[in-house]
């Protein structure tokens, strides 16, 4: 398997995510060789869907394409036209599922095999559902176009079951509102919100029972096994260069999604016996409980920066069974309640 220049230790994404980008960019007057070179890639690396690309280089590819074509919304439009089956294995893991609900569950639970160091969640609350996506790598700064194209790709998976005219209720983005934001509303036919805690499609829960038109249980098993096998055959680029502390925090953050945050759960995620992980942490004068608290605190601050999330939603996202337990923990960390912290920092940003 080929490797991107300079990927050593960096997170990877399967090149299927860039399917058709060369044609798409050329149609808009871009020089693909120049764009790829500036992103640290070559066009040859985009030709085999099962090859791995550096996630940072993949994100820069669209940043450079936007500059070269003078199309500030190139990621947005690339995602709008992206057919789900072109996503390769992860696309078929969704498309071959029995129902839309199972398609989204399979998409989110297997997305890490397609793209590393990424959080993808399927969250149900009352009559709404949130399909969330975010890259968790502070070194990747040019991620706006990736977020916009990924939301388009995800929207098209839902349209595969719900028809070409289906639209979400809202679309959330982490980044600030760009120029020509009206194009985002036109593209998604939905209310668009910027500077949110995460990127997300928000839609009605009632659609989840819809059958997927190409459901095939046998082929789903094949595609799922192939995706996992392919990921395991690659070096662990997502965590190889990280310290033990950072790797534990990375796994805690992922575990918050399903609430399985007990120490044995994290050890299992890291493929280590609990006593081995305990010994290695002790050698560094670290404790699991402290790392869990640090991670929850950091995630709480990130979520509270979004005015669209209720305190109860944040508590659930941090694996607290009760909102009051989250509020007590936050007061211990910050000396004030979550609502007071949000209000104070909202005023500071004005």
Q: Within a domain: residue 184? A: yes
User: Do 18 and 88 share a domain, yes or no?
Assistant: yes
User: What are the Cα distances from residue 90, in Å, to 5, 73, 221, 252, 255?
Assistant: 24, 25, 12, 24, 21
User: Do 31 and 84 share a domain, yes or no?
Assistant: yes
User: Do 210 and 253 share a domain, yes or no?
Assistant: no
User: Do 47 and 146 share a domain, yes or no?
Assistant: yes
Q: Within a domain: residue 236? A: no
Q: Which one of 217, 235, 252 terminates a domain?
A: 217
Domain hosting 25: range is 12-217
Model-wide pTM > 0.75: no
| DSSP calls for 230-297 | HHHHS--TTTTTS-HHHHHHHHHHHHTTTT--SHHHHHHHTT--HHHHHHHHHHTT--HHHHHHHHHH
Q: Of 9-13, 151-155, 240-244, 265-269, which one has max mean pLDDT?
A: 151-155
- Rounded distance, CA 130 to CA 205, Å? 9
pLDDT in tens, 173-198: 999 998 888 999 999 999 999 999 88
**Between residues 142 and 61, which one has the greater pLDDT?**
61
User: Do 65 and 206 share a domain, yes or no?
Assistant: yes
**Which CATH number fits the domain that encloses residue 67?**
3.90.1520.10
User: Do 119 and 208 share a domain, yes or no?
Assistant: yes
Q: Within a domain: residue 264? A: yes
User: Do 202 and 253 share a domain, yes or no?
Assistant: no
pLDDT of residue 9 exceeding 70: no
**Which CATH number fits the domain that encloses residue 287?**
1.10.10.60
Mean pLDDT, range 144-159, rounded to an integer: 97
Domains in the chain: how many in total?
2
- Rounded distance, CA 1 to CA 181, Å? 39
User: Do 153 and 298 share a domain, yes or no?
Assistant: no
Q: Within a domain: residue 123? A: yes
User: Do 172 and 248 share a domain, yes or no?
Assistant: no
């Amino acid at each position: 398997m080929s490797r991107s220049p300079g990927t050593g230790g960096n997170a990877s994404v399967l090149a299927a995510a860039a399917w058709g980008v060369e044609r798409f960019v050329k149609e808009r007057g871009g020089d693909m060789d120049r764009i790829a070179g500036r992103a640290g890639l070559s066009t040859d690396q985009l030709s085999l869907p099962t090859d791995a690309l550096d996630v940072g280089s993949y994100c820069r590819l669209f940043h450079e394409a936007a500059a070269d074509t003078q199309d500030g919304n190139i990621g947005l439009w690339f995602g709008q036209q992206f057919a789900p089956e072109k996503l390769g294995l992860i696309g078929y893991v969704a498309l071959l599922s029995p129902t839309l609900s199972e398609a989204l569950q399979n998409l989110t639970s297997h997305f890490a095999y397609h793209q590393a160091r990424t959080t993808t969640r399927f969250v149900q609350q009352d009559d709404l559902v949130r399909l969330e996506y975010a890259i968790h790598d502070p070194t990747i700064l040019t991620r706006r176009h990736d977020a916009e194209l990924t939301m388009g790709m995800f929207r098209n998976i839902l349209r595969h079951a719900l028809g070409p005219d289906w639209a979400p209720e809202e679309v959330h983005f982490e980044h600030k509102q760009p120029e020509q934001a009206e194009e985002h509303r036109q593209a998604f036919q939905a209310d668009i919100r910027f500077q949110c805690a995460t990127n997300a499609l928000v839609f009605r829960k009632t659609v989840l029972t819809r059958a997927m038109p190409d459901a095939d249980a046998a082929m789903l098993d094949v595609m799922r096994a192939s995706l996992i096998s392919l990921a395991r055959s690659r070096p662990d680029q997502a965590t190889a260069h990280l310290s033990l502390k950072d790797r534990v925090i990375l796994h805690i953050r992922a575990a918050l999604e399903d609430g399985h945050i007990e120490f044995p759960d994290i050890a299992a995620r890291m493929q280590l016996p609990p006593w081995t992980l305990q010994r290695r942490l002790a050698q560094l004068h670290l404790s699991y409980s402290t790392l869990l608290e640090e991670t929850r605190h950091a995630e709480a601050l990130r979520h509270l920066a979004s005015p669209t999330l209720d305190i109860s939603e944040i508590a659930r996202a941090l694996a607290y069974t009760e909102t009051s337990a989250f509020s007590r923990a936050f007061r211990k960390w910050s000396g004030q309640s979550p609502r007071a912290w949000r209000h104070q920092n909202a005023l500071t940003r004005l």
